[in-house]
Structure 1
Amino acid sequence: MANKLDELQGPTQPEGVDINVIHKQIPIEVGQGSRTFEIVLWCLLIIPGLIFWIMKNSASNYLRRLEQKIQGSASEVDNYLEQRVQVLQNASAIVNKAIDLDKSTMITIAKYRSGKAGDDNLRNEISSEIEQVSKKINIAFESYPDLKAHSTLRDAMQKNDYLQREITAARTNYNDYVSRWNQDIQVWPTKMIVAAKAGYTTRIPFTASVETKAKARDVFF
C-alpha cells in the first residue's frame, strides 16, 4: 500500500506556506448514533450502561479539572504580564525624567493596569501592546549613554528580559493544556459525549501578533 503522504511524489510547495492559528471555536457535537449506543448499553442487562455512566462521570471530572488547569495557566501568564508592566512602569518613569518618551507608552501601561487583561480575547492584544512598550524603552535605553549608566534602569531592563522569558514559558504551558483539551474533547465515546452535552468547544491557543511575526523575518545581522 502506498503512503498517503508521499514526500517524494508530492504535491510539494517549494515557496513555503505561512502558518496561522485559526481563530475559531468549534462546538462538540454527537449524532444519533451516540444516543443509540447509550440506549443499547442500558438495554444489555443494565450493567454495561451503569459502567458507561461511571466512565462518563470520570470523564466529566477529568475535563473540569483540565479546564481549571487551563485557567490556572492563563492566570500565570497574566501574573507575569502584571509583573512586567510594573517593571516597565518604573523604567518608563526613569526614562521620562531624562527624555521625552512617547505619551502612548504610559497610556498602554495604564490600560493594562485597569484590569482589562483578564479577558481571554484581549490577552494577546494587550500582550502585544506591552511588547511595543518594552521596545520603546529599550530603544531609549540604548540611545542615551546617561540612561545606560543608571543602575536602577539597568536592573529593570534585566528584569524585563527575565520576565519575557517566563511569559514565553507560561504561554507554552498554556498552549499545552489547550492542545490537550482540544484533543480530549473529541475522543469518542465518553469524553466526546460528555463534552457535547456540556456544550464545550475547542479553545484557541496563544498566537503571536502580525507585527511580531513580520519582525521575526527581519535581518538582524
Structure 2
Amino acid sequence: MTRKKFPGWAIALIAVLVIVLIGGVAVIGPYNTMVGYDEQVSTAQANIQTQLQSRLDKINELMPAVQGSMNQEDDIYKDIAALRSNTPGINMDADGKLTIDKNASIKELENADAASSQMIRDINIAQEAYPELKSSDLMKDFMTSVEGIENRISYARDNYNEDVQAYNVYIRSFPHNIAASLFGFSPKEKFEASSAAQNAPVVKFD
C-alpha cells in the first residue's frame, strides 16, 4: 500500500502558516509590553499634572490675600498676569482660578512648572516686606503645604523620566524596534525641569 504524498502547494501553505504563526507570536509579545510601558508613561504624566494642579490650588487660595496686601508694582502681579495670559499648559477657569490644561504636552507642563515655581519664589521674597500677610493664617497654611507639594512634584518628575527611559530603551532595542516601527511606537521626551524648578522653592518664615 502506497502512501499519498502531500501536494507541493499544501506543504508550501503549511510552511507559510507556521512562519506567520511564529511571526505573530514574536510580534504580539513585544506589542503588549510596549502598550504596558506606554500606559506607565501616561500615568506618570498624569501624576505630574495632578501635583502641578496642587501647587496652583495653593496659589489660588493665597491670591486674594496677596492681591489685597501687596503693591501692584511687585513681581507677584507680573507673575499672576503671566500665568493667566501666556503660560502654555495653564488655563484660567470661569472663576478666575488657575488650572493645569488636561491636554497639555510634556513641554507645556515644563513651562507650567517653571512659571508656577517662579511665582512661589517671588511670594517667598515678597512676603518679607508685608508682616501682616506673613502672619496671616492663609500664608501659614501655604507655608506648611508647599514643601510637601514641591517634594511630590519632584518625585513625579523623576518617576516620569524613569518610565520614559524604560520605554525608550525597550522600543529602540532589537528586535523590539521592528515591532515598534510596525505599530507606530516612537521615543518620548523626558521632563526637563528648569534649573530653578529642580530646586524645590520653599516659603520660609523666621
The answer, yes or no, to whether TM exceeds 0.5 is yes
Shift of 1:67: 1.0
Number of matched pairs: 173
Aligned to 2:185: 200
Give the whole-Å Cα distance in 2 for the aligned partners of 1:212 and 1:181: 25
State the one-letter code of the partner of 1:199.
Answer: G
Give the whole-Å Cα distance in 1 for the aligned partners of 2:183 and 2:20: 19
Match of 1:58, SS state, is helix
Match of 2:172, SS state, is coil
* Structure 1 range deviating more: 158-167 or 95-104: 95-104
What are the ranges of 5 or more consecutive residues in structure 2 without an aligned counterpart?
A: 1-12, 93-99, 201-206
Does the alignment pair 1:96 with 2:74?
A: no
Does the alignment pair 1:107 with 2:89?
A: no
* Structure 1 range deviating more: 86-95 or 43-52: 43-52
Shift of 1:61: 1.5
- Preserved CA contact (<8 Å) 2:106 2:191: no
- Higher RCO (C-alpha under 8 Å, 6+ residues apart): 1
Identity across the alignment (%): 20
What are the ranges of 5 or more consecutive residues in structure 1 without an aligned counterpart?
A: 1-41, 217-221
Select the structure of larger CA radius of gyration: 2
Give the whole-Å Cα distance in 2 for the aligned partners of 1:211 and 1:162: 17
Does the alignment pair 1:178 with 2:173?
A: no
> Cα gap change, 1:163/1:108 in structure 2, threshold over 3 Å: closer, same or farther?
farther
State the one-letter code of the partner of 1:127.
Answer: D
Tell me which of 23, 26, 30 is aligned to 1:52.
23
Shift of 1:142: 3.0
* Structure 1 range deviating more: 72-81 or 42-51: 42-51
Aligned to 2:113: 127
Give the whole-Å Cα distance in 2 for the aligned partners of 1:172 and 1:44: 49
- Preserved CA contact (<8 Å) 1:77 1:170: yes
Scaled by the length of structure 1, the TM-score of the pair is 0.69
After the TM superposition, which residues 2-17 of structure 1 pair with which residues of structure 2 at under 5 Å, given as runs?
none
Give the whole-Å Cα distance in 2 for the aligned partners of 1:159 and 1:211: 19
Give the whole-Å Cα distance in 1 for the aligned partners of 2:14 and 2:191: 45
Match of 1:113, SS state, is strand
Shift of 1:168: 0.4
Give the whole-Å Cα distance in 2 for the aligned partners of 1:150 and 1:119: 36
Does the alignment pair 1:153 with 2:139?
A: yes
Give the whole-Å Cα distance in 1 for the aligned partners of 2:168 and 2:56: 31
Give the whole-Å Cα distance in 2 for the aligned partners of 1:160 and 1:203: 30
Give the whole-Å Cα distance in 2 for the aligned partners of 1:154 and 1:186: 49
* Structure 1 range deviating more: 194-203 or 139-148: 139-148
Give the whole-Å Cα distance in 2 for the aligned partners of 1:44 and 1:132: 65
Shift of 1:212: 5.3
Tell me which of 52, 60, 64 is aligned to 1:81.
52
- Preserved CA contact (<8 Å) 1:43 1:49: no
Give the whole-Å Cα distance in 2 for the aligned partners of 1:43 and 1:154: 75
Give the whole-Å Cα distance in 1 for the aligned partners of 2:157 and 2:38: 16
Match of 1:83, SS state, is helix
